[in-house]
């Protein structure tokens, strides 16, 4: 068995061991439950036409979905306090994405902002994903795990927000265009698949950062 194949198998087993604990699994399955609860509540509020409450519950649902997602994706952290701060920041970032509605209309008026006909810039998945990818590449270059985590916190916040908006409006991949809206069941399944995939990416890229660091140390040693 080649060295790389052996490493891969060990890594995969380790991955499964870490992520099959009860707490993480409950955390993961709570994400679609939160989405379902938030979406149902919004439908109920809409019936009574309270715009402020509607926007508050919508924003809180984005916050909770992103926070629970990062709690799953980044729970490798040894420092619990910094992990909880990252969980909060991820949720906050996901909620703040909707601020572009107000920027686009140039007023804080909720009525005007929610009647915007086109989707504003922060709802273009390409823009913020490109920022996250650049940050991830920089983290490998400078061997920084905190930068790598920041890149994945941004990705988690943006993708969970866009995925939630997307079941009604599709995913906007500017400048190419937009996907059609998708079914509610696919949306709920995606909310489980997203953190699973992002956790996998975090572990994989963390090893890349570590490898780049070791290689550089070796080079310095040889010189
Ligand atoms: Zn939105």
What separation in Å is there between the alpha carbon of 179 and the centre of ligand 1?
16
What letter would DSSP give residue 128? H
Is the pLDDT assigned to residue 50 strictly greater than 70?
A: yes
What's the rounded mean pLDDT across residues 10-19? 50
What separation in Å is there between the alpha carbon of 165 and the centre of ligand 1?
6
What separation in Å is there between the alpha carbon of 20 and the centre of ligand 1?
32
Average pLDDT over all residues of the chain:
86
Q: How far apart are CA 129 and CA 159, in angstroms?
A: 8
Q: How far apart are CA 170 and CA 33, in angstroms?
A: 21
Q: How far apart are CA 192 and CA 163, in angstroms?
A: 11
What separation in Å is there between the alpha carbon of 22 and the centre of ligand 1?
32
Q: In which residue are the tokens 């109920």 written?
A: 44
Evaluate the CA torsion angle 21, 27, 31, 37 in order and state its sign: positive
What separation in Å is there between the alpha carbon of 120 and the centre of ligand 1?
9
Question: What percent of the chain clears pLDDT 70, i.e. is strictly above it?
Answer: 86
Q: What is the pLDDT of residue 116?
A: 77
Provide the whole-model pTM.
0.85
What separation in Å is there between the alpha carbon of 123 and the centre of ligand 1?
6
pLDDT tens sequence across 160-186: 999 999 999 999 999 999 999 999 999
Q: What is the pLDDT of residue 16?
A: 47
What separation in Å is there between the alpha carbon of 82 and the centre of ligand 1?
27
What separation in Å is there between the alpha carbon of 161 and the centre of ligand 1?
6
Element (H, E) at 12: helix 3-19
What's the rounded mean pLDDT across residues 37-54? 86
Q: How far apart are CA 68 and CA 31, in angstroms?
A: 6
pLDDT tens sequence across 106-120: 888 877 777 777 888
What's the rounded mean pLDDT across residues 73-86? 82
* Nearest CA-CA partner of 86 in 151, 14, 22, 139: 151
Q: What is the pLDDT of residue 223?
A: 47
Rg (the chain; Cα; Å): 20
What separation in Å is there between the alpha carbon of 206 and the centre of ligand 1?
30
pLDDT tens sequence across 135-169: 999 988 888 888 999 999 999 999 999 999 999 99
What separation in Å is there between the alpha carbon of 162 and the centre of ligand 1?
7
Per-residue pLDDT band at 77 (split at 50, 70, 90) = low
What's the rounded mean pLDDT across residues 189-207? 92
């Amino acid at each position: 068995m080649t060295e790389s194949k052996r490493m891969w198998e060990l890594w995969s087993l380790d991955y499964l061991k870490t992520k099959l604990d009860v707490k993480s699994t409950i955390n993961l399955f709570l994400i679609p439950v939160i989405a379902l609860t938030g979406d149902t509540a919004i439908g109920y509020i809409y019936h009574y036409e309270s715009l402020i409450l509607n926007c508050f519950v919508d924003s809180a649902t984005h916050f909770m979905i992103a926070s629970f997602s990062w709690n799953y994706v980044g729970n490798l952290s040894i420092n619990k306090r910094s992990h909880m701060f990252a969980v909060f920041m991820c949720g906050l970032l996901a909620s703040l994405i909707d601020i572009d509605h107000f920027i686009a209309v140039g007023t804080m008026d909720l009525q005007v902002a929610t009647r915007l006909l086109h989707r504003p810039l922060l709802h273009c998945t390409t823009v913020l994903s490109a920022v996250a990818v650049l940050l991830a590449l920089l983290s490998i270059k400078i061997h920084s795990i905190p930068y790598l985590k920041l890149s994945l916190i941004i990705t988690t916040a943006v993708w969970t927000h866009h995925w939630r908006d997307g079941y009604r409006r599709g995913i906007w991949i500017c400048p190419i265009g937009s996907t059609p809206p998708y079914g509610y069941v696919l949306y709920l399944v995606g909310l489980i698949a997203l953190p699973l995939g992002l956790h996998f990416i975090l572990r994989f890229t963390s090893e890349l950062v570590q490898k780049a660091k070791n290689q550089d140390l070796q080079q310095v040693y040889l010189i």
